[in-house]
A and B are shown apart, each in its own frame.
Chain A
Amino acid sequence: MRKKISRNSCLLFAVVTLAFVAFPMLVDTEESYLVYFFFMCFIYVALAQGWNLVAGYAGQASFGQHAFFGLGAYVMAITWKAGWTGFLDPLALVLSGAGAALLAVLVGVALLSKLRGDYFALGTLGLGEILRVVFTQGGTLTGGPVGLLLPSSSYRSLAPYYFIALGIALSTFLFVWLLMRSRVGLALVAIREDEQAAASNGIHVLKFKILAFAGGAFFSGMCGGIYGYFLFHIHPLGFFSLNWALLPVLMTVLGGIGTLLGPVLGAFVLTGVFELANIYIPEIHPIFSGLFVILVMLFLPQGIMSLGGKRIVPRLFPFLFGSSK
């Protein structure tokens, strides 16, 4: 059943990775707007891919990814303030991810065993909103509504942020790619297609759902951590903003849900469109963004990956169709 990864797709992956690694060496990282732009793209790629794992492959649409994003940022900030970790510390990022994954497991046991479909989506939405209130009311530990201010004098250059975000995006991509080629991936797709049939074939449905949920949460938490390092100010409204949940959803659907490259394409296209609108039409930018979303859903509801049906996209990126629908 398992297809070999074609040489072309490996080559493509390597070339794109190398291009992104080499890019900051070709431009002035402190002057170039593109470095910041790609940094944001990488964060969105990881967030979107994480959501794609939960919703696209496992079929459990969650609208609470902002809970994990915000929690990751707070874990980073609190451990840094306590002196356990340092500035741009990989340990802090891993802890951010682990904290988010732990929450996902705890919540997942309760929500995933009980709720399906829309009810699960609404339940996770409630989770994110609860967490925002909890961190707003968290007293000195979380800094209340003002949040936590971090020593911004540690900032040296944008380059390390770029590489860390690239690393997170790449590892998310590889994780989902390899996972979906494994038995676990097969189980997840089976659960998405028909939960009862999957269960009757001996798949522990809850266990695999929680695994996907925690995996998505882990990467969202890491994104929260690195973005927190970038802003130096963690506050409940900004980091538990529903945008961190909805934009990745939008990007995944725009690119093509349940495909490996869809979230990546969607993240780059949407970040690009929003940034361009912000530069060229700043007054009506938000109106335009809303309109753009409506137009995409009207004319391209199955995403960019469906363009050209089975012709253009599959031929360009054959490996995408190995483990997806």
Chain B
Amino acid sequence: MSAGSAFIQILINGVLFGSMYGVAAIGLSLIFGSMQIVFIAQGAVIVLAAYFTYWVFTLTGLEPFFCLLLCLPFFMALGWGIYAGLFHKVAAAGKNPSLLLAFGLMVLLQNLMSFVWTPNPRAINTWYTAVGLSFGPIQISFTRLMVFLISIAATGLVFLFMKKTLWGKAVRGACEDMRAASLLGISPRRVNSLTFSIGIALAGVAGVCTATTYPFDPYFGFLFSLKALIAVAFGGLGSVWGALMGGILLGLLEGVGSYLISGGWADAISYAAFLLVIMLRPQGLFGKATRAV
């Protein structure tokens, strides 16, 4: 394999992997946009969805990708429950309590999963797990390609929802200015429940994707949350496609960084890029400067 095609292979893998960061980032971006909460437990919810998929697959033999349909309503309800039961009350108390609440939820979920499913890494093995599609010298894993397509579809659906429905318009308005939105009769409570439902449902999607492509353990989620945060910063807050592009960019950066320098530095490179972006372009790489932060 020549150096050129190896590089293309790395780029493709970066894009495919980054799309998963992107889906997680959209959820974070929506929740931050409407409530100003950094929902650090997003990664733990993703791992929960991965275990859910693993469980359903092991017990019933249901295809993991069909499990997505089962997962979506369940995680939407979970998101609604998390907002109604926890964040609705605490959000009034300020930012620090909300952040710590999310932190507590993360610790609780991680250790609950470790208690129920043991801390050993799990992976789903189906007949197509190792199948790859060849395009000349380039190999593309079937599951990763599926993950990429699902990510694009999920992003597209959320985008259409935000642009074409009245509810979506309310969410966009609330993300821009919650006070003005509530003066116009938009109920903050409903909008926040909705963004939480969508955000957690997207975590469910990312979880199913993780389960089919990579081994995971209960503590894998925190790193995922951090990566999703970086992706949000790259894409700019409140932008659906921006978050997906930010995730893909992060995947590329990590892939190319580990190829050119070394795998150990990949994390430092992405954090350094993250610091540079929030300092120099706080509105995101693709956003326009509209308001000061």
Interface 1/0 per residue, B83-124 and A, CB below 8 Å: 000100110011111101101111111111011000000000
Question: Considering the complex, which residues of chain A in the window 36-95 have a beta carbon less than 8 Å from any beta carbon of chain B?
Answer: 55, 61
Instruction: Tell yes or no: A15 within 8 A of B by CB.
Output: no
Interface 1/0 per residue, A258-300 and B, CB below 8 Å: 0000000000000000000000000110110111111011100
Q: Is the CB of B100 within 8 A of A118?
A: no
Question: Considering the complex, which residues of chain B in the window 218-248 have a beta carbon less than 8 Å from any beta carbon of chain A?
Answer: 222, 226, 229-230, 233
Other-chain residue from A55, A123, A289, A293 in contact with B279 (beta carbon distance below 8 A): A123
Q: Is the interface of A mostly helix, strand, loop or mixed?
A: helix
Other-chain residue from B107, B265, B278 in contact with A115 (beta carbon distance below 8 A): B278
Other-chain residue from B108, B114, B293 in contact with A116 (beta carbon distance below 8 A): B293
* Interface CB pairs A-B, < 8 A, 21: A110-B279, A115-B278, A118-B38, A125-B226, A126-B275, A129-B226, A130-B272, A134-B268, A136-B264, A137-B262, A250-B103, A253-B97, A253-B100, A284-B111, A290-B104, A290-B105, A291-B108, A293-B108, A294-B108, A301-B93, A301-B97
Q: Is the CB of B278 within 8 A of A287?
A: no
Instruction: Tell yes or no: A302 within 8 A of B by CB.
Output: yes
| Chain B residue contacts of A249, Cβ below 8 A | 96, 100
Going nearest first, the 7 A-B pairs with the smallest beta carbon separation are A293-B104, A290-B108, A290-B107, A301-B93, A286-B111, A133-B268, A301-B97
Q: Is the CB of B275 within 8 A of A123?
A: yes
Alpha-carbon separation in the docked complex, A264 to B278 (Å): 34
Interface 1/0 per residue, A120-159 and B, CB below 8 Å: 0111011101100110110000000000000000000000
> Quick one: closest B residue to A144, CB to CB?
B264
Instruction: Tell yes or no: B274 within 8 A of A by CB.
Output: yes
Instruction: Tell yes or no: A119 within 8 A of B by CB.
Output: yes
- How many residue pairs, one in A and one in B, have C-beta atoms under 8 Å apart? 120
> Quick one: closest B residue to A134, CB to CB?
B268
Q: Is the CB of A289 within 8 A of B93?
A: no
| Chain B residue contacts of A125, Cβ below 8 A | 226
Instruction: Tell yes or no: B36 within 8 A of A by CB.
Output: yes
| Chain A residue contacts of B278, Cβ below 8 A | 114-115, 119, 122-123
| Chain B residue contacts of A103, Cβ below 8 A | none
| Chain A residue contacts of B110, Cβ below 8 A | 286, 290
Alpha-carbon separation in the docked complex, A292 to B96 (Å): 16
Interface size on B, residues (CB 8 A): 44
CB distance from A249 to the nearest CB of B (A): 7
Q: Is the CB of B293 within 8 A of A297?
A: no
Instruction: Tell yes or no: A246 within 8 A of B by CB.
Output: yes
| Chain A residue contacts of B89, Cβ below 8 A | 298
Alpha-carbon separation in the docked complex, A246 to B222 (Å): 13
Alpha-carbon separation in the docked complex, A50 to B96 (Å): 16
Interface size on A, residues (CB 8 A): 43
Q: Is the CB of B101 within 8 A of A284?
A: no
| Chain B residue contacts of A284, Cβ below 8 A | 111, 115
Instruction: Tell yes or no: A165 within 8 A of B by CB.
Output: no
Alpha-carbon separation in the docked complex, A138 to B264 (Å): 11
CB distance from A86 to the nearest CB of B (A): 33
Q: Is the CB of B293 within 8 A of A294?
A: no
| Chain B residue contacts of A110, Cβ below 8 A | 279
Instruction: Tell yes or no: B271 within 8 A of A by CB.
Output: yes
Q: A253-B97, A296-B104 are in contact. List 12 more A-B contacts (CB 8 A).
A: A61-B96, A130-B271, A130-B275, A137-B264, A283-B115, A287-B112, A290-B109, A293-B100, A293-B107, A297-B93, A298-B90, A298-B101
CB distance from B268 to the nearest CB of A (A): 4
CB distance from A141 to the nearest CB of B (A): 15
| Chain B residue contacts of A294, Cβ below 8 A | 86, 101, 104-105, 108
Alpha-carbon separation in the docked complex, A133 to B267 (Å): 7
CB distance from A66 to the nearest CB of B (A): 13
Instruction: Tell yes or no: B282 within 8 A of A by CB.
Output: yes
Instruction: Tell yes or no: A257 within 8 A of B by CB.
Output: yes
| Chain A residue contacts of B226, Cβ below 8 A | 125, 129
Q: Is the CB of A287 within 8 A of B111?
A: yes
| Chain B residue contacts of A111, Cβ below 8 A | 275, 279
Interface 1/0 per residue, B38-82 and A, CB below 8 Å: 100000000000000000000000000000000000000000000
Instruction: Tell yes or no: A238 within 8 A of B by CB.
Output: no
Alpha-carbon separation in the docked complex, A122 to B36 (Å): 13
Alpha-carbon separation in the docked complex, A119 to B274 (Å): 11
| Chain A residue contacts of B282, Cβ below 8 A | 115, 119
Other-chain residue from A290, A296, A298 in contact with B106 (beta carbon distance below 8 A): A290
Question: Contacts A126-B275, A133-B268; is A297 near B104 (CB within 8 Å)?
Answer: yes
Question: Considering the complex, which residues of chain B in the window 104-153 have a beta carbon less than 8 Å from any beta carbon of chain A?
Answer: 104-112, 114-115
Instruction: Tell yes or no: A318 within 8 A of B by CB.
Output: no
CB distance from B284 to the nearest CB of A (A): 12
Other-chain residue from A114, A117, A127, A291 in contact with B104 (beta carbon distance below 8 A): A291
